[in-house]
Each structure stands twice: as C-alpha cells, then as structure tokens.
Amino acid sequence: MAETEREAMEYDVVIVGAGPAGLSAAIRLKQLDADLDVVVLEKGSEVGAHILSGAVLDPCGLNALIPDWKEKGAPLNTPVREDNFYMLGQGGKLRVPGWPMPPLMSNHGNYIVSMGNVCRWMAEQAEELGVEVFPGMACSEMVYDENGAVKGVVAGEFGRNPDGTPGASYEPGMELHGKYVFLSEGVRGSLSKEVIEKFDLSAGKEPQKFGLGMKEIWEVDPDKHNEGEVTHTMGWPLGSNAGGGSFIYHLENNQVYVGFVVHLNYQNPHLYPYMEFQRFKHHPMVAELLKGGKRVAYGARAITEGGYQSMPKMVAPGVALLGCSVGMVNVPRIKGNHNAMLSGKAAAEAAHEAIKAGRAGDALDAYEADVREGAIGKDLRKVRNVKPMWSKWGLLPSLALGGLDMWTNTMGFSLFGTLKHGKTDAAATGEAAKFKKIDYPKPDGKLSFDRLTNVSYSMTNHEENQPCHLTLKDASVPIAVNLPKYDEPAQRYCPAGVYEVVREEGKEPKFVINFQNCVHCKTCDIKDPTQNIHWVTPQGGDGPNYPNM
Ligand SMILES: Cc1cc2nc3c(=O)[nH]c(=O)nc-3n(C[C@H](O)[C@H](O)[C@H](O)COP(=O)(O)OP(=O)(O)OC[C@H]3O[C@@H](n4cnc5c(N)ncnc54)[C@H](O)[C@@H]3O)c2cc1C
C-alpha cells in the first residue's frame, strides 16, 4: 500500500489522552510558560466520554496542580463522611473496623466525584490557559524520526473501509510533531504498548497486573441515600474463584456508584466477571439499597494493579508515559487519579526544563526520577506487597499480612522485601477441563441485567463501516486453540458482549466480534490467554459516551 501523505503540525508538547494525567501535564506546562504550544488529543467524542473512574478522589494531586481549585469551581462537591468496609458472606456481612488499618487507608479528606466531570472542568482550565484540546481525535500511530526517536503521532484518520482501504470520505488525519510526546492513554494504551515493546521498557520489571472494573450509576430512594458514604466489600460472590471486591459511593442528587472489580489473574476460564457483578447486587445489603431505584448508566474499564514493581521505565527518546499508561494505582486504596495528576505535573516540569535548555527529542530522565523517588513512588512503595500477597495466599491471610506490611512500610521497612507478581494475567488462565463450570442465576431485569441491555446504558456507538479495531494476530486461534483449551473465555471476560462463539447445526463453530459494542475497557487485550487479540483504536469519537461516570 502506498504510504499515506499527511500534513504535519509542530508543537512543543503533544499529549495523547485527556484523562487526569494528560490534562494535568497540559495545565502545568502552560502555568510554567504561557508561550509553549501544547495540544491534547482525546479519542472520546468529548472530554470525559471515556472516563469511568467515578471515584473517591484524594485531592493531593489537584492541590499541587491548582491549589485554588475550590475558588475556581472544581466539581469536588461531596466530601467523604462515612467509610465502611465489610466482608460479605452469601446472606450476611461482617464489618471490618478501620483501626487496624494504617492511616493511608483512611478516606478522611477525600471526595466522591465524577472523574468525567472533573476532567471536563480540567479541560476548561487548560483551554483558558491556551492549551488546544481536541476531542474526537484518536491517535492511531506513532511517528518516529530517522534515529528511531519518537517525533509525534498520527491523529484524526477517518473513513477507512472495513478491509482497511481508504473509503470515499477518507481523511488521512495529521501528523502532530512535538519536542516531546506524552502518552497518557490510561490503562493498556495501544500506543503505549507499542512504545513499551519498541524500547523494551518493561525489561527487568515485574509484569503489569490488572483488574476489570464494572460500574453502574443508580438513582436510589432518597430515604436510603446517604451523601458522602463510602462502602467497600470483599468476599462473596467471588469467594476463592478470584480476587476483587465492590465499591458503593453515595454522591450527589440521590445517585450511587455501584462498582465491582475482578482481578484478571483468575485461573478458572469459566468465570464470568460481568455475571459476578450482577450477582453481587442481589446480596441483601446491596439489594436493600437498590430496591425501588433505577440504574441510569453502565460502563467498564480495566484498572492497573501491578503497582510499584510493575512500573516500566517511563521515558525513551522523545516520549514519556504518564499515569496509568505506566500503572500508578495504589491497589488497596483503589486510587490512581491523584498519582495520574502528579505524574502529569512531574512530566510537564521535566519537559519545561528541557525545552528551556534547548533540548528536544531526548529521554526526560528527570521525570522518571521524580516519579520513582517523589510522592508517587512513596505512595506506591508502601503498598507494593498487598497485591502479590493476595494473589499468592488468598484474601484473609493477605488482609492480615498486607495490613501488617503496610504498617511496617509506613514506618520505613518491610519484613517481606518486594514480592513478585510472577505470571501475566493472560498466562494465569487455566485449562477449562481442569475447572468447574459456574452456574450464574439469570438476571431479573430489576436489580441485575443482561450484558447487552446494560451496554446500551453506556451510550456506546461505533461507525460500522470501518475496520474492526479488535484485531486478531491469527484468525484461526479462537476456534482452533482457545475454544478447546479454554472454552474461549472472551465470551465471558468481555463486559460488553463483544465476542461470541456462534454454533449452527452442521457447521463449524464461528468466532464473531461485535466491535460496535466495545466500551474500550481493554480486558481482551490483557486477558486473552494466547495474547492473540490486539486492541487498536477505532476512529475518533467512537466508543462509550459516559455522562458523569
Ligand atoms: C472501576 C474503576 C474504579 C476506580 N476508582 C478509582 C477511585 O475511586 N479513585 C481513584 O483515584 N482512582 C480510581 N480508579 C483508577 C483511575 O481510574 C486511574 O488511575 C486513572 O483514570 C488514570 O488516569 P489516566 O489519565 O492515566 O488515564 P485515563 O483516566 O484512563 O484517561 C486516559 C484518556 O486517554 C484517552 N485515550 C486513550 N488512548 C487514546 C488514543 N490512542 N488517542 C486519543 N485518546 C486516547 C482515553 O479515551 C481517556 O480519556 C478506578 C479505576 C477503575 C477502572
């Protein structure tokens, strides 16, 4: 195929992704030097459309970036007023008191927010400072210079036919060149994956680990609503099948975020994370809250869980990885937004120094040092053993030992050193014949819903006349390998019902990809046991359209 010719635009810094990391970087760059040319490109139809982390926000990142955020009208309206933690059994619950936990686990001083709305507000702040923010612009390719350094990205390509050839309304998009390119695509970014591989940035690090987070927004009976209440649970229904747990956050306007995370290192390929979430809502504690209420939105997104020991090297010539493109979630706190913001700020400061000194296209080592040795590294180091303990020893021992380890780490030492994660989540998947099938109750349509009905509540939309963005390295693998060996788990791990094995009498089973349903969670790219599915970005503006997730 002939090489596509594109116009190029020059910037000081090109930022891919308008999440908390990318927007913080953009804001900080312009705070430091109003004359810098900074552009932010976002694949969602608007800023916030793909942001799912409705969230308890530790404001430390925002405090460092925009200390007067309150006066500037940041949508942090609901301080946490009550913090509960329960171990669930099928019909009951056991309250876990807060006192054995180290102070870092407390939510005092944090806010329940819609991160989608926080990002919309941050984009306004960035634009006021002169940042160019372009939603609906998916960055589909990296651009390298003749020495192999990152020079820019391709954004805004539209109108390819399903077979990849240019269609009648084909737009080649543009090359956006920068002295530095920041990849702030969030968890399992497609360009970040390419850059990590190209520059071998994961060498010597533990594999990244992930969870799948699913979330619904409910409007509940005002009598049951308790603005500012935060509840986390562990235990039922996952039991020993997988690690994970739930969160229930009461925000404003009688709304409640009800979410569920399943760690993706589960072995039993029959596990169906979406149905675990649906089953969870039938626990008496949750059912009582939701009864008479209304689900108004649904979404899903992977979350990074590898923490400190899994962070790849985050700089290479011309490029820096920010936020969850690196993986900066503090797992026991289920918080990554504060670190995403701090990383954006740190990357901006390093780039500003470099540009001021006349540099361009080199590795921003000062940024990496800031992340590892500064506030982010300190936050993640203290909790680095919690996830590997959970994976190795299960829930209860890891609660006790993880608590102890977080305490000793708060005092500056660990009895365990730094534990390893071992396998990738894909490699953790076991063979179907060795595990029991799991019987899931049918959704009742009141508290629990089937997958496709719920996907319609994510307002997901993809132009159908384009190449499928869920690419297979080998099209035969799902039926020839994954089906006999793993009962093709894509049918179950995808929270949006994208993958089906269709069986018709007298015919071979067929693997069908309904890419129109994809909510961009990236679970398939992570969990496919043969690592045959490669998620690439569809054209800009496609995907979910989350309201205030
Ligand atoms: C279910 C769930 C609950 C969570 N709860 C909390 C919580 O309570 N508190 C907390 O602090 N953290 C929470 N987190 C973690 C938090 O969401 C992440 O740490 C945070 O989103 C990381 O920010 P980011 O800017 O790196 O990436 P993201 O927030 O994912 O933003 C990345 C942006 O880049 C865009 N993008 C990606 N690729 C491209 C591309 N190629 N071209 C153009 N645009 C692109 C995306 O559309 C997106 O808008 C939760 C996560 C999940 C999944």
**Nearest CA, atom 24, ligand 1:** 186
Q: What confidence tens digit (pLDDT) does each residue in 57-66 have?
A: 999 999 999 9
Contact 503, 491 (CB under 8 A): no
Ligand 1 centroid to 344 CA: how many Å? 13
Residue 53 pLDDT greater than 80, yes or no = no
- How many Cα neighbours within 13 Å face the side chain of 56? 29
Of 76, 142, 337, the one to substitute when testing ligand 1's pocket (max ligand atoms within 8 A of C-beta) is: 337
Measured by CA distance, the residue closest to atom 31 of ligand 1 is 19
Residue 310 and residue 327 in contact, taking contact as beta carbons nearer than 8 Å: yes
For residue 549, pLDDT over 90 is answered with no
Q: Render pLDDT for 419-433 as a digit per residue (tens, 0 to 9).
A: 999 999 999 999 999
Strand partners, 8: 175
* DSSP symbols for 194-215: HHHHHTTTTTTSPPP-EEEEEE
Q: Using an 8 Å Cβ cutoff, are 291 and 447 in contact?
A: yes
Residue of 298, 333, 334 to test ligand 1 pocket, by largest number of atoms within 8 Å of CB? 334
Q: How far is the CA of 7 from the centre of ligand 1 (A)?
A: 30
% of the chain exceeding 90 in pLDDT: 91
pTM score, whole prediction: 0.97
Distance from residue 20's CA to the centre of ligand 1 (Å): 7
CA 58 – ligand 1 centroid, Å: 15
Whether the CB of 212 sits within 6 Å of ligand 1: no
With contact defined as beta carbons under 8 Å apart, do 344 and 21 qualify? yes
Q: What is the pLDDT of residue 403?
A: 86
Ligand 1 and 18: CB distance under 6 A:
yes
Long-range CB contacts (< 8 A, 24+ apart) of 507-512? 508/479, 509/479, 509/483, 510/479, 511/475, 511/478, 511/479, 511/483
Q: Give the whole-angstrom CA distance, residue 246 versus residue 86.
A: 10
**pLDDT at position 302 over 60:** yes
Cβ of residue 156 lying under 6 Å from some atom of ligand 1: no
36 lines ligand 1 (CB under 6 A): no
Q: In Å, what is the CA distance from 96 to each residue of 49, 68, 129, 238, 390?
A: 35, 36, 46, 18, 17
pLDDT digits (tens, 9 = 90+) for 363-387: 999 999 999 999 999 999 999 999 9
Residue 522, pLDDT > 80, answer yes
- With a pLDDT cut of 70, the percent of the chain lying above it is 100
Q: How many CB atoms lie within 10 A of CB 136?
A: 18
The pLDDT assigned to 447 comes to 98
CB-ligand 1 contact for 120 (6 Å cutoff): no
CB 59 less than 6 A from any atom of ligand 1 = no
Output the pLDDT for position 392: 87
pLDDT band at 39 (very low <50, low <70, confident <90, very high): very high
Q: State the average pLDDT over residues 283-289.
A: 98
* 110 CB near ligand 1 (under 6 Å): no
Q: What is the pLDDT of residue 139?
A: 98
Q: Provide the pLDDT confidence category of residue 206 given band limits of 50, 70 and 90.
A: very high
What local confidence, expressed as pLDDT, does residue 397 receive?
82
Averaged pLDDT of the chain: 96
The one-letter amino acid code at 368 reads E
Identify the pLDDT of residue 495.
98
pLDDT above 70: residue 360: yes
Please check the confidence at residue 1 and state whether its pLDDT lies above 70. no
**123-142, pLDDT tens digit by residue?**
999 999 999 999 999 999 99
Instruction: Write the DSSP symbol of residue 301.
Output: E
Ligand 1 in contact with 351 (CB < 6 A)?
A: no
Whose CA is closest to atom 38 on ligand 1?
185
* pLDDT of 2: 58
Q: Each residue of 8-27: pLDDT tens digit? A: 999 999 999 999 999 999 99
